[in-house]
A and B are shown apart, each in its own frame.
Chain A
Amino acid sequence: MAEIISVNDGNFESFIQGSRMVIVDFWAPTCMPCRLMEPGLEKIAANHAENVRVLKVNVNENPKTSSRYFVRTLPTLLFIKDGQVRTQIVGAVNPVQIEKTLSEVS
């Protein structure tokens, strides 16, 4: 069962290459909506273990990755495929909406 992978400025790049769809969850410990969204993201990581990789980036510790994608609001979800951002969701959303976005961009 796939879990959410915690990545950092150093190894981020290596995780977003390839044809697999990647969801990146930008979060911070102070962001409460981020915390409440995590169970939903865990479910998505488990349900799509074959073809979707779910990453999380703590913006406090990884400013390079967050500024590279102009992330200024949490939670922000990026949907990346072949190293390119396909779409993003800004603000708290439910797993159903994430699934919907996922099927639109896959």
Chain B
Amino acid sequence: MDKNWDVIIIGGGPAGLAAGVYCGRALRKTLVLEKKVFGGQIVFADIIENYPGFAEPIVPADLMEQMSRQCERYGVVLENDEVQGLRKEGDSWLVDVYQNTYTAKAILYAAGSMHRFLGVPGEQELLGRGVSVCATCDAPFFLERKVAVLGGGDTALSEALHLAKFAAEVTLIHRRDKFRAEKILQARVFKNEKIKIVWDSEVLAFKGGQHLEALEIRNKKSGVVETVAFDGAFMAIGTIPNTELLKNIVRLDENGYVVTDISLRTEAQGLFVAGEVIKGNRRQVAISVGMGVQAALGCEEYLAALE
């Protein structure tokens, strides 16, 4: 495999792949590196209904496979590998992967985000043994069982609706007294007889031995703590940006997000950002795609100026 590239895109989700299409069409030698699966976190969802241009719900994995193929059509190379280090030497960016180092004239950083956890007792110990981050992956294990979904955004409500097709009962546990999810998802949740909502509450502990057995839940208003039996708990309490690699390169805010403007440039010459690493992102495929395009166009302008 080639070691020298015009553009290396770090992250193969909606932002990275959309950027890939534009870099490829700008005839730039482009490599997209993805550490997990191409498509990003959206492929964990069962359907996507709000991506403009599709009247019927579509399967996110299908959409993202199309985006991958669209990249490849324009000569972009997609490679599954994990970036271990990123640094600049002279005018070149150096990207260390497991067993190789690549160089690039520009970097488009679209590494997305990872699931946030509560950091309470039992959570990590029971991860994969009842505690889950992917309803479409794990719903079949909870056929006719009792599950909880933690969170109140689009992901939490979508997961609850998906789980309701399998589980006997789904309980949405939310720390506030209203959801911030799309109103259409809220309406479906309120109408679904299998979904119960526990407002103003937080999970203090995940209990169980070989697998999850119960959650310790505290009502924030009354202060009452209860232990409630659950077979599964799905985490949808938000995300943390994957910006560890940028720590010594650009200024990050207190939560680890990159602060930038609509140019999607950073203070490091030749480093552009897109998607969920950016402060104020709203976790929508359509927005990430748009940001990927915007960053790729900025990147192209930068490369053209170098020539």
Chain A residues engaging chain B, CB cutoff 8 angstroms: 28, 30-37, 40, 59-60, 66, 70-76, 90-97, 100
Contact mask for chain B residues 88-99; partner A; CB cutoff 8 A; 1 contact, 0 none: 000000000110
Instruction: Give the residues in chain B near A31, CB-CB below 8 Å.
Output: 134, 136-138
A94-B36 in contact (CB<8A): yes
Instruction: Give the residues in chain A near B39, CB-CB below 8 Å.
Output: 32, 36
User: Which segment, of B124-132, B148-156, B281-289, faces chain A?
Assistant: B124-132
A72-B137 in contact (CB<8A): no
Q: Which of B36, B60, B65, B98 contacts A92 (CB 8 A)?
A: B36
Is B211 close to A, CB under 8 A?
yes
Instruction: Give the Cβ gap from A65 to chain B, nearest Cβ, in Å.
Output: 13
Instruction: Give the residues in chain B near A97, CB-CB below 8 Å.
Output: 82
Instruction: Give the residues in chain B near A94, CB-CB below 8 Å.
Output: 34-37, 80-82
With contacts A30-B139, A32-B59, A36-B37 known, is A72 near B80, CB below 8 A? no
Interface residue ranges of B40-83 to A (CB < 8 Å): 43-46, 59-61, 65, 80-82
Interchain pairs with CB closer than 8 A, number: 88
Q: List 6 A-B contacts (CB under 8 A).
A: A32-B59, A32-B61, A59-B140, A71-B141, A73-B137, A96-B98
B98-A90 in contact (CB<8A): no
A36-B61 in contact (CB<8A): yes
Instruction: Give the residues in chain A near B140, CB-CB below 8 Å.
Output: 28, 30, 59-60
A74-B137 in contact (CB<8A): yes
A73-B44 in contact (CB<8A): no
Alpha-carbon gap, A37 to B34, bound state (A): 12
B137-A36 in contact (CB<8A): no
Alpha-carbon gap, A30 to B130, bound state (A): 18
A33-B80 in contact (CB<8A): no
B141-A72 in contact (CB<8A): yes
Instruction: Give the residues in chain A near B248, CB-CB below 8 Å.
Output: none
Alpha-carbon gap, A91 to B129, bound state (A): 12
